[in-house]
A and B are shown apart, each in its own frame.
Chain A
Amino acid sequence: MGRVKQVIDKTKMQTMLGLFSIVFAFIANGKTITVGQNKQCKTIHQAIKIAATFDTIEIHEGLYKEGNIVVNKSLYIKGINKPVIDGEKKFEIISVKSNYTTIDGLIVQHSGYATLDDPGGIKVYDSHHVNIINNTLSDNFFGVYIQYGQHCIIKNNNIEAFGVEEQQIGNGIHCWKSDSLQIIGNKITGHRDGIYFEFVKGSIIWRNISYKNIRYGLHFMFSNDDAYIGNIFKNNGAGVSVMFTKNVKMINNYFSDNWGDAAYGLLLKEISDAYIFNNRFLSNTSGIYMEGTSRIKVENNSFNNNGWGMKIQASCMENNIINNNFKNNTFDVSTNGTLVLNVFNKNYWDKYEGYDLNKDNIGDVAYHPLSLFSIIVENNASVMLLYQSFFAMLLDKSEKVIPSLTPTNFIDEQPLMHPILL
């Protein structure tokens, strides 16, 4: 028996060794081609032409104006000391059309502008396992553009543009019909949408900072089963928008200073089965605006200093809003109808005036978070003219004493006496 086992072990070892050597051979085979003024190749075009699959191209410091660079082999393209690839405002700069390609450490700038074929700083066509890391993309129409990409990683890039008008500029990271992407640690500013997802599945957006973009910091359309975690969305024209999507997880994000006439911290439209956990909404015109959403769980979030903490339209149903902190908002929540199919429970409201006799941290009197004035405003926006007037104050006070016009079932049965520590 022992002998047989030994033989089997030996063959196992041999196959393992064999596999290793194949892999090793692959790595060892890849040669390095240098590009630069006094280097092996003068141009990147030439380097790609002579390169074989899995070779490394090292681009050294300098300014490269080579029009459109097409990467059609699996290559590792590495910038040494941040070489600058310039599109002269005419071309798409780098087009990746091969799998297993990495682009690392370049400065890509001044791509062309065209609304028909959307040129990008780095555009990935129909490829898988493409890594775009540590690049600086400056003043491009689209920053990074992934189309039919799979298992791509976009990591630690610095993407900036100087857009003024929505129509004149593309998105920072634009992903279309893709799957299993990882977008990590990027910094995006000045584009139309910081990160744009359309028909993207099973992807993660993690620890990005998206600020001062013209429209949305993050824009989701028809992208199911994604998650975005630990991102900062600050000072964007209209905040973050998630639309027509199922199963999105939004965790540990920070939505702040999305302040303006039509700005929202987070705009949810036709969303179902989402999970919104442990986010912070600070100083937005509306913290969360929900329209046509169903089966969403909003848990452990804090809403501070917003105009409206949450605006929940009557078209929303079966949403659970549990264990959140509402502090210093002008209006904590508002709704536009009398139909209430959502549940509020165990939230902390700084405007709650009830008492807690048995000291279990749950108020003994249910809380009506809707103020009469907010409902009137929802029906007739112009009434906001009376905001902060003595009359509006009186209306609210009388409604608090005898609720008659606000929906009676819009209620937090177990309001917390103290804020949750988040």
Chain B
Amino acid sequence: MNRLIKFVVLDMIKNRTILGYTLLLAIFSWSVFGLEDNATKGVLTLLNIMLLIVPLVSIIFSTIYIYNSSEFIDLMVSQPVKRSKIWTSLFIGLSISQILAFVVGVGIPLLLFAPINIALSMISVGCIVSIIFIAIAFLACAITHDKSKGIGVSIMLWLYFALLFDGLVLFLLFQFADYPIEHIMIGITMLSPIDMARILILLQLNVSALLGHTGAIFTDFFGTIIGTFISTFVLCLWAIIPFYLSLRMFNKKDL
């Protein structure tokens, strides 16, 4: 399994797309901190980019990569290697390379320019978001055999989490404006890893005062040890569950 992971990671590092992705992230982050004199504003802009681009690249790139390595997978399956091992090593290899790209591209400027606690939480949240969307890509690949369909499903899923979910949240907030739904909203944001990541970071910045009453309720929840534990746990679940489902499907799949 270790050799498989090593192989995937090495293959990935040679990949131009990953290099380009790293470069893109680096250019974005350095220019953001170069242009903004205010570190908080820089972090906010970076957060915006991060929560848009990182999921998109993670999900699309992983989907394409898995489909492209179908021959490699077929070959491996014919060897005396467990199916789950092949699938897991692919997942871990992809995750490692994406995290590397993210840490090199965004992590370094963050550590240099932003306050250390915010930088660290941004990096960890970014890494988790990368892993989550790779897991979702695996699920999309396991569901369909057809490459174009798989990529379509990935794009739809990304669109849903990045955009449509917020639209639904807005709709809910207006429909139930007369009811105290703030506590329920905490549960609802957990249904979208992007929203949760965004709110987790926002609450650490001093802009959280702008969030008003709802923000206060969220701070009460996420600020406590139990809240932090639950939110981290939920984010991990977002990575584990899609991957586990895809693994089960892959094990039974007729290749």
A binds B: yes
Chain A residue at minimum C-beta to C-beta distance from B47: A388
Q: How far is the CA of A34 from the CA of B127 in the complex (A)?
A: 75
Residues in chain B near residue A178, CB distance under 8 A: none
Which residues of chain B (12-57) have a CB below 8 Å from chain A?
38, 41, 44, 47-48, 51-52
Encode contact with A along B164-206: 1 for CB under 8 Å, 0 otherwise.
0011011001100100011001000100000100110010001
Residues of chain B within 8 A of A9, CB atoms compared = none
Q: List 30 A-B contacts (CB under 8 A).
A: A259-B206, A260-B209, A261-B209, A261-B212, A261-B215, A263-B209, A285-B209, A285-B210, A305-B38, A307-B207, A330-B207, A380-B173, A381-B213, A382-B185, A382-B213, A384-B211, A384-B212, A385-B173, A385-B189, A385-B211, A385-B214, A386-B166, A386-B169, A386-B170, A388-B48, A389-B51, A389-B195, A390-B162, A391-B167, A392-B166
The reply to whether A389 and B166 contact each other, CB–CB distance below 8 Å, is yes
Chain B CB within 10 Å — which of A307, A383, A388, A389 has the most? A389
Which residues from chain B contact A385 at a C-beta distance below 8 Å?
A: 169, 173, 185, 189, 195, 199, 211, 214, 218
Q: Are A383 and B173 in contact (CB under 8 A)?
A: yes
Q: Given known contacts A328-B41, A380-B177, A382-B185, is B212 in contact with A390 (CB within 8 Å)?
A: no
A305 to B39, CA, bound (A): 12
The minimal Cβ–Cβ distance linking B141 to chain A, given in whole angstroms, is: 25
Whether, in the assembled complex, B156 has its beta carbon less than 8 Å from a beta carbon of chain A, the answer is no
Q: Does B234 interact with chain A (Cβ within 8 Å)? A: no
Is A16 close to B, CB under 8 A?
no
A387 pairs with B210, CB closer than 8 A? yes
Contacts of A27 in B (CB 8 A): none
Q: Is the CB of A390 within 8 A of B211?
A: no
Give the distance in Å from the alpha carbon of A258 to the alpha carbon of B139 in the complex: 48
User: Cβ of A390 and Cβ of B207 under 8 Å apart?
Assistant: no
CA gap between A413 and B204 in the complex, in Å: 38
Shortest beta-carbon distance from A237 to chain B in Å: 12
By a CB distance below 8 angstroms, the chain B residues around A263 are: 209
Q: Verify if B111 is at the interface (C-beta below 8 Å from A).
A: no
A315 nearest CB across to chain B (Å): 20
Residue B216 CB within 8 A of the other chain = yes
A381 touches B212 (CB 8 A): yes
Q: Which of A275-300 contact B (CB under 8 A)?
A: 285
Output the least CB separation between A372 and chain B (Å): 12
Given contacts A380-B174, A385-B185, A385-B189, are A391 and B214 in contact (CB under 8 A)?
A: no
Q: Find A383's partner among B52, B170, B209 (CB 8 Å cutoff).
A: B170
In the complex, whether B163 has a CB less than 8 A from a CB of chain A is yes
Whether B163 lies near A391 (C-beta < 8 A) is: yes
Which 3 pairs from chain A and chain B are nearest by CB? A391-B166, A307-B210, A382-B214
Q: Which residue of A lies closest to B192 (CB)?
A: A389
A394 within 8 A of B: yes
Return chain A residues, CB-CB under 8 Å to B210: 285, 307, 330, 384, 387
Indicate which residue in B41, B44, B206, B215 contacts A384 across the interface (CB closer than 8 Å). B215
Quick check: B173 and A387 within 8 Å, CB to CB? no
Report if A393 contacts B (CB, 8 A): yes
Residues of chain A with a CB closer than 8 A to B218's CB:
385
What's the least CB distance linking B100 to chain A, in Å? 25
Q: How far is the CB of A256 from chain B (nearest CB, A)?
A: 14
CA–CA, A380 to B189, complex, Å? 17
Instruction: State A260–B209 Cα separation when bound (angstroms).
Output: 5
Which residues of chain A have C-beta atoms less than 8 A from B44's C-beta?
Answer: 388
| Contact across chains for B211 and A387 when beta carbons are under 8 A apart | yes
Q: Which residues of A contact B52 (CB under 8 A)?
A: 390
> In the complex, what's the smallest C-beta–C-beta distance from A136 to chain B, in angstroms?
33
B213 neighbours in A (Cβ, 8 Å): 261, 381-382
Q: Which of A382, A383, A387, A394 has the most CB of B within 10 A?
A: A382
The 8 Å CB contact of B209, one of A259, A305, A328, A382, is: A259
B176 → chain A closest CB, angstroms: 9
In whole Å, how far is B111's beta carbon from the nearest beta carbon of chain A? 21
Q: List, in ascending order, chain A residues with CB within 8 A of B209's CB.
A: 259-261, 263, 285, 307
Chain A residues near B173: list those with CB within 8 A.
Answer: 380, 382-383, 385
Of A307, A376, A381, which contacts B214 at CB under 8 A?
A381
A244-263 Cβ-contact flags toward B at 8 Å (1 or 0): 00000000000000011101
In Å, the complex CA distance between A394 and B163 comes to 9
**Measured between C-beta atoms, what is the minimum distance from A350 to chain B in Å?**
12
Inter-chain CA distance A310–B97, complex, in Å, is 46
User: Within the complex, what minimum Cβ distance (angstroms) separates B156 from chain A?
Assistant: 16
Are the CB atoms of B38 and A328 closer together than 8 Å? yes
Chain B residues, Cβ within 8 Å of A261: 209, 212-213, 215-216
CA distance A328 to B52 in the complex (A): 23
CB-CB under 8 A from B189, the residues of chain A are 385
Q: Mark B139-174, 1 if CB is under 8 A from A, else 0.
A: 000000000000000000000001100110110011
Chain A hits for B177, CB < 8 A = 380, 382
Tell me whether A387 and B202 are in contact (CB under 8 A).
Answer: yes
Residues 256-274 of A at the B interface (beta carbon under 8 Å): 259-261, 263
Residue of A whose beta carbon sits closest to that of B186: A385
In the complex, A70→B215 CA distance in Å? Answer: 51
B216 and A390 within 8 A (CB): no
The 8 Å CB contact of B51, one of A285, A387, A390, is A390
Min C-beta distance of B175 to chain A, whole Å:
10
Q: Which residues of B contact A393 (CB under 8 A)?
A: 48
Contacts of B174 in A (CB 8 A): 380, 383
Q: How far is the CA of A383 from the CA of B170 in the complex (A)?
A: 7
Bound form: Cα–Cα A392–B163 in Å: 9
A contact residues around B48 at 8 Å (CB): 388, 390, 393
Inside 8 A of B198's CB, which chain A residues have their CB?
A: 388-389
Report the Cα distance A330→B47, complex, angstroms.
Answer: 15
Query: What is the CA–CA distance of A387 and B195 in the complex, to the nearest angstrom?
Result: 10
Q: Which of B162, B181, B198, B216 has the most CB of A within 10 A?
A: B198
